[in-house]
Structure 1
Amino acid sequence: MEKNNKQLNWAMISLIAFNLVWGLGNVVNNYAQQGLSVVTSWVIILVIYLIPYALMVGQLGATFKEQEGGVTDWIANTSTKRLAFFAAWTYWVTQIPYLAQKSQVILISLGWIVQGNGDFLSSLSTPALVGLELLAFLLLLYLSTKGLKALKYLGTLAGGSMLVMSLLFILLAVALPAIKPDLQLATANMDKVSTYIPKFDFVYLTTIALLVFSVGGAESMSPYVNKAKNPAKEFPKGMIAMVIMVGVCAIFGSFGMAMLFDSNNIPADLMRNGAYQAFDVLGQHWGIGRLLVFIYAVTQFLGQASVLALNVDSHMQIFLGSADKDFIPGWLRKRSKTGTLVNGYILTGVLVSILIALPLLGLKQIDSIVHWLTNLNAIVLPTSYLWVFLAFIFLYRNWDQYKNAQYIFIKNKKLGILIGGWGFCFTAFACILGMFPQIDMGKQPTEWWFTFLTNIITPVLLLAIGLILPWLARREQKAKN
């Protein structure tokens, strides 16, 4: 049985990791913020962040190969149960902006399916948009309680299709000059080095969070470490291959975006409609009309809908499935006769609904709402990555106990703590600087302050709720006794 379980080679590992980490939206969103200079940013973030991050995950997974809880188990084994609870809570609650954003992306894709353009949401007022997002989210939240198998099949199919579409975009865009030698590129001076050098100012630093968010998620690979034929060799090779694949897609994808959209005059709706518009232009150039737009919109709709519904249930089962009664009160662990975590779903619904409704307090334009929620997600979700680096530091704090794993990234105790500390500080730095809006405060003071305050308050409140739960659990225990 052990032999049969260890069938993954480095190529398989790299493909699994790539599918978990990467998506076309990462190219579009970061290009929208930085333009063509994002090419340099991609190289920097891959070298100083993604490579060590992925290899740390490999070592942690190999060290705790019998544990299936990922980061929570890593913290529990290297520190305390209390810290493990907070790690579990962080990984669950940081999904809230992610889920809110999914309902928005679903509506955008639906508009392109029905109308064939991005005008549907543009015509809506903020209350109407919020109402539709709430309707879409609550419907999918209800479906997730039913555990529909069709969602899993659709999600798998759409996920594979989305990967193909992401790679297809790069191939069609990069090969475009070969079929149209006289093609007029949207961005000028693409042959000059200066075009690719970012302006390393404060505004640039506020965009790093989205880069970190785009390359995160490698900790999901931890269960595959010991399924490799030779973890010590195959897993790091697979991770490096994944980094190369991400780098190629990020860089050439950015080139493709620059060919179609002027890097010095980026459209306000690029985050919302950029991928669809890109496929529209490519389809026209390649003589296949709007076929690519329709396929991409359908895969987005099915993929994002299934991801939203399945993520709600999967993350809740991980967090509450084997919850410790010392830290989580009984009402939150309550199950229905069919096994549904009733109050867990209610809490999810309340938190996501509040977040979806927040733009009513200060945002009026659809693209402002898209930018706000995309960047908020990039601030909140990476805070969960902090626990990976903290677990790595704790691992080296007790190095004599853990230095015999099948795969070791760093053998020196002090260097291991230093590298873990670097990842922790860089992630925290990116999240904090990301809280400052890329909005002209002089021209849009209301939107600037709304974005700034919600960027600070949202992660603080979401994480603070986790401090209340152990207190409620203790009160519950005392009442019973």
Structure 2
Amino acid sequence: MSSNASTSKKLTLVPLILMIFTSVYGFNNIPRSFYKMGYAAIPWYILSGITFFVPFALMMAEFGAAFKEEKGGIYSWMEKSIGAKFAFMGTFMWYASYVIWMVNVASGIWVPVSNAIFGKDTTKNWVLLGFSGPKALGILGILWIILVTYVSTKGLDKIKRVTSLGGSAVAALNIIVWIGAILVLIGNGGQLAEPIEGLKSFTQSPNPKFVGNTIVSLAFIVYALFAYGGIEVVGGLVDQTENAEKTFPKGILIAAAVISIGYSAGILLVGIFTNWASVMSIKDVNLGNASYVVMANLGYSLGVAFGVTEATATAMAHGIARFVGISMFLALSGAFFTLMFAPLKQVIEGTPAKLWPGKMGEIKDGMPLNAMWVQAAIVCFMIALVSFGGNSMSKFFDILVAMTNVAMTLPYLFIAGAFPAFKKKREIKKPFEMFKSQGSANFWTWIVLLTVGFANLFSIIEPAIGGDLKTTIWSVAGPIFFSIVAWIMYSSYEKKYKI
């Protein structure tokens, strides 16, 4: 009986695929990709799925199965494979990516607030303490960081109950897009708002910035990699999977196909009701509000397709924009209250306590209280630097998104880079092995490293080539700063304790 009960709790193929899907798939990636590349984003999603998502996820599965008893997460994986210094550098970079995410979202969260209240993005007109545009959003972002840090240090979990509604609402957005796009297609007699002109539509972006510029197109791979982010969590699912040797790789491959098709189909659906030139090329559209512009356009297009009045179509646009705004605000708030302490707590608990200066490594009531306030100060300082840099709203969000995409994908270089060493160590018990030989492990590691490395390289240098040195500098400023901090911290630890 106990054996059967235990087996019944294990993940079978379909639940495993659903767990991977919910961990990785992000609605926001679809309208942003359409804004950047139109239909031409689709081949990059498919290519990134093959050269990054599948091999990296299988590496995470091997790591997760081998170190399932370790509490240090990715630090333990790298430390036991290569060494403590490499592990600390990689883990600190992983943590730093969430700090940069906070810089982005603290400033960008006001776009969904505006949509929730006004039915459209009005943030460029907001004025606070005499400041407008990015500066006003920067001030609001700093106040938001202080508020979230204060609430999180009090250990209040009630807010998470409210914000869990956001996750369900964002999931509903995908259903709305599918149903809405099909209804628009029917209402318009099968005509697409963004026509497909043969193979050209999937190889050439309607965005003038991408036409004839190979480096700009290659730089888009970072967006696709970012869209596949979160796959490191699947490493912990191996030992929970029934017949893991067969079920897990099958689940990874099917999930990768479903997610790639999901993103590709989503981009096609957006094209059913959104003409790139007339909707996405408007001056006020940017990476911060692209999702809301697309969804508002869905509401408007539904009205027009079925012959309602202009006023009713506009009201439908504002209604959907408000729903999207509320959904995204709740979802981002929930993520914020978790990410304000969870990555920091993991990096502190997973690494040697003596690495952390003063009282930064202290955990009180399950929370790294002192470190959280240091983190808040760093995030606020970075927000102030970016928002008071004198940019337009569009450039402001371009910088924030570029910073986040680079920061969130660079740690994959460390984790994947440790995999060949992990495979070589015979003393590490490996209950699950997908890469049967050292040669196959090395080959796929290089594929992943080259994909992530070149994607980030092109993403970093592309703005500079176009004369936008500021975005290039900000893309690398965060990772460079945090890698220097990590190096200094570990070197100090080595000297002090003669390691």
Q: TM (normalized to structure 2)?
A: 0.87
Once the two structures are TM-superposed, the CA of residue 412 in structure 1 deviates from its matched residue by 1.4
> What corresponds to 2:66 in structure 1?
63
Q: Confirm or deny that 1:27 pairs with 2:50.
A: no
Q: Residue 172 of structure 1 aligns with which residue?
A: 180
Partner of 2:311: none
Instruction: Assess if the C-alpha contact under 8 Å between 1:122 and 1:366 holds in 2.
Output: no
Query: CA separation in 1, counterparts of 2:483 and 2:29?
Result: 25
- Over residues 170-215 of structure 1, what are the superposed CA-to-partner deviations in whole Å (9 max), with x where a residue is unaligned? 34224521233165x3323x14121111467122122221221111
What residue identity is the alignment partner of 2:472? F
- 1:477–1:60 CA distance, 2 compared to 1 (3 A): closer
Residue number in structure 2 paired with 1:454? 474
Question: Within the alignment, does 1:467 sit opposite 2:490 as a pair?
Answer: no
What residue is the counterpart of 2:447 in the other structure?
422
CA deviation after TM superposition for structure 1 residue 132, in Å: 1.2
Native 8 Å contact 2:118 2:322 kept in 1: no
User: 2:202 matched to 1:196?
Assistant: yes
Given the superposition, is the C-alpha separation of residues 78 and 359 from structure 1 closer, same or farther in structure 2, using an over 3 Å criterion?
Answer: closer
CA distance in 2, matches of 1:60, 1:390: 12
Aligned runs of 1:42-121 on 2, under 5 Å?
A: 42-121=45-124
1:413 to 438, 451, 460: 438
Q: Distance in 2 between matches of 1:319 and 1:305?
A: 22
Report if aligned partners of 2:32, 2:291 keep a CA contact under 8 Å in 1: no
Q: Which residue of 2 aligns with 1:327?
A: 355
For residue 271 of structure 1, the aligned residue among 275, 284, 287 is 287
Give the corresponding residue for 1:133: 141
| Preserved contact between residue 7 and residue 227 of structure 1 (Cα < 8 Å) | yes
Q: 1:325 to 1:476 in 2, by over 3 A?
A: farther
> In 1, distance between residues paired with 2:266 and 2:321?
17
Would the alpha carbon gap of residues 440 and 56 (structure 1) be closer, same or farther in structure 2, given more than 3 Å must change? closer
Distance (Å, rounded) in 2 between the aligned partners of 1:98 and 1:464: 19
How many angstroms does 1:285 deviate by? 4.1
Specify every segment of 5 or more residues in structure 1 that has no aligned partner in the other structure, as ranges: none
* Aligned with 2:220 (options 182, 186, 207): 207
Aligned-pair CA distance for 1:313: 0.9
Q: Is the 8 A contact 1:109 1:300 kept in 2?
A: yes
Output the CA distance in 2 between the equivalents of 1:463 and 1:440. Answer: 25
Tell me by how many angstroms 1:274 deviates.
2.3
Change in CA separation of 1:383 and 1:34 when aligned onto 2, cut-off 3 Å: same
Which sections of structure 2, spanning at least 5 residues, go unmatched?
Answer: 127-131, 205-211, 304-314
Matches within 5 A, 1:150-299: 150-181=158-189, 183=191, 185-188=192-195, 190-198=196-204, 201-263=214-276, 266-267=280-281, 268=283, 269-286=285-302, 289=316, 290-299=318-327
**1:103 CA drift (Å):** 1.3
User: One-letter code of the match for 2:441?
Assistant: G
Asked if the contact 2:135/2:388 (under 8 Å) is kept, the reply is: no
Partner SS for 2:11? coil
Change (3 A) 1:333 1:422: same
Q: 1:390 aligns with which of 405, 412, 417?
A: 417
Cα distance between partner residues in 2 of 1:24 and 1:322: 31
Q: Distance in 2 between matches of 1:165 and 1:421?
A: 37
CA drift at 1:335: 4.2
Instruction: Note closer, same or farther for the CA distance 1:51–1:384 as it changes in structure 2 (3 Å cut).
Output: same
Write the distance in 1 (CA, Å) between the matches of 2:420 and 2:327: 40
Once residues 245 and 145 of structure 1 are traced to their aligned partners in structure 2, the CA distance between those partners, rounded to angstroms, is: 39
Q: Deviation of residue 125 (structure 1)?
A: 3.1
Separation in 1, partners of 2:79, 2:391: 45
Indicate if the aligned counterparts of 2:119 and 2:322 stay in contact, CA closer than 8 A: yes
Match of 1:11 among 11, 14, 35: 14
How big is the shift at 1:318? Answer: 0.5
Q: How does 1:280-359 map to 2 (within 5 A)?
A: 280-286=296-302, 289=316, 290-336=318-364, 338-359=365-386
- Aligned residues, how many? 468
- AA aligned to 1:195 is S
Separation in 2 of the partners of 1:252 and 1:440? 32
Residue 475 and residue 440 in structure 1: after superposition, are their counterparts in 2 closer, same or farther (change >3 A)?
A: closer
Point out the more displaced range, 152-161 or 130-139. 152-161
Residue 433 of structure 1 corresponds to 458
Work out whether residues 216 and 459 of structure 2, in 8 Å CA contact, stay in contact via their aligned partners in 1: no
C-alpha separation in 2, matches of 1:57 and 1:360: 36
CA RMSD of aligned residues (A): 2.5
1:66-98 CA-partner distances (Å, limit 9, x unpaired): 234332121122222222222221221121111
Corresponding residue for residue 368 of structure 1:
395
AA of the residue aligned to 1:304: L
CA–CA separation in structure 2 for the residues paired with 1:466 and 1:362: 26
Residue by residue over 1:142-180, the C-alpha shift from the partner in whole angstroms, topping out at 9 and shown as x without a partner, is 222122212332343322321221243134224521233
1:391 shift after superposition? 2.6
C-alpha separation in 2, matches of 1:311 and 1:451: 25
Q: Report if the CA contact (8 A) 2:416-2:445 is conserved.
A: yes
Residue deviations 1:352-389 (CA, integer Å, cap 9, x gap): 11221123453421121111101110111111111221
Contact 2:108–2:137 (CA<8 Å) still a contact in 1? no
Give the Cα separation in 2 of the matches to 1:10 and 1:68: 26
- Which digits, 9 at most, give the CA deviation of each residue in 1:41-63, with x for residues without a partner? 11211122211122222222222
Counterpart residue type for residue 197 of structure 1:
T
* TM-score, with length taken from structure 1: 0.90
Quote how far apart the aligned CAs of 1:326 are: 4.3
Higher mean alpha-carbon deviation, 228-237 vs 271-280, is at 271-280
Q: 2:407 aligns with which of 357, 365, 380?
A: 380
The Cα shift of 1:463 comes to 1.5
Q: Is the CA contact 2:463–2:469 (under 8 Å) kept in the aligned structure 1?
A: no
| Counterpart secondary structure, 2:380 | helix
Matched letter for residue 273 of structure 1: N
